[in-house]
Amino acid sequence: MDSAISVRGLRKSYGDTTAVAGLDLEVRHGEVFALLGPNGAGKTTTVEILEGFRKRDAGEVRVLGHDPTEASPGWRARVGIVLQGTGEFEELTVAEVVRHFAGFYPNAADPDDVIDRVGLTDKAKSRTHTLSGGQKRRLDVALGIVGRPELLFLDEPTTGFDPAARREFWQLIRDLAGAGTTILLTTHYLDEAEALAQRVGVIAAGQLIEVDEPSRLGDRSNAPATVSWRTPDGWQSEQSASPTALVAELAARFGGEVPGLTVTRPTLEDVYLKMIGEKA
């Protein structure tokens, strides 16, 4: 199969409120796919259906070749889930928690190896209530991967992290992806999606409105660039569909080096906000 996740015509309503309205989605084996969308867009409902925690009203869903609502324990052992909070194990040590969860899987990874992979070896004997927020999140990931999942769901994995901790966590995700794990990531951090995902999908009003590489989403790579430079009278800027030509013209005008020259195209955040604004 080319797809780890395949969704066609997914629908889910709560009373008179439509949460998911005919959504189609494909996630390829081995890729990191980021699902983006504002609160209330249907993102969480969609992911919970894929995880098998919520029933759909209509549509076809296949995750690792199976319908999540009918999946066996063997299927569950192939899927890892890292929620926004796995739970509290105040008086247990990191090693005790990971070993306990390893016992749920028929082919679990070595708990000590997993603890090392998530960077908690120095904390293996520490009780979980002594961990920092970033360390607790690493423990959440350890519990999600101890069963050697083929597919890993990551829900807002770096919420509350400081910048340094976020960058360290990104490397952990890259390492997992490099080992062949398919990852479905939901995040509100656009730089995180751009740094980690091969493709991103934007969901709004219960529908997936576009899927593409981060650099191409919303025709971003072809959008006009903003060229800015400094003059004796202050800063000037101009939008241009051919910024190279404009820079060459400026270089000739200034006799070589253009003071304060910058060339920027719309960021992923720019195109994302435009897309969800148009759908609102």
Domains of the chain in sequence order: 3-213 (3.40.50.300), 219-279 (no CATH)
pLDDT digits (tens, 9 = 90+) for 2-45: 899 999 999 999 999 999 999 999 999 999 999 999 988 999 99
Contact between 68 and 19 (Cβ < 8 Å) = no
- 236 residue type, one letter: Q
| Rounded distance between C-alpha atoms, residue 88 and residue 136, angstroms | 9
What pLDDT, on a 0 to 100 scale, did the predictor assign at position 4?
Answer: 96
Those residues of the chain that have pLDDT short of 70 are 1, 84-88, 279-280
3-state secondary structure of 144: helix
- Residue 148, φ and ψ in degrees, nearest 5: 55, 55
228, 265, 267 from 250: Cα distances, Å? 10, 18, 24
Q: What is the pLDDT at residue 1?
A: 57
Closest among 17, 14, 77, 86 to 49, alpha carbons compared: 14
**pLDDT reported for residue 91:** 87
Model confidence pLDDT, tens digit, residues 123-133:
999 999 999 88
Q: Tokens in use for 75?
A: 């299927």
What value does the mean pLDDT of the chain take?
91
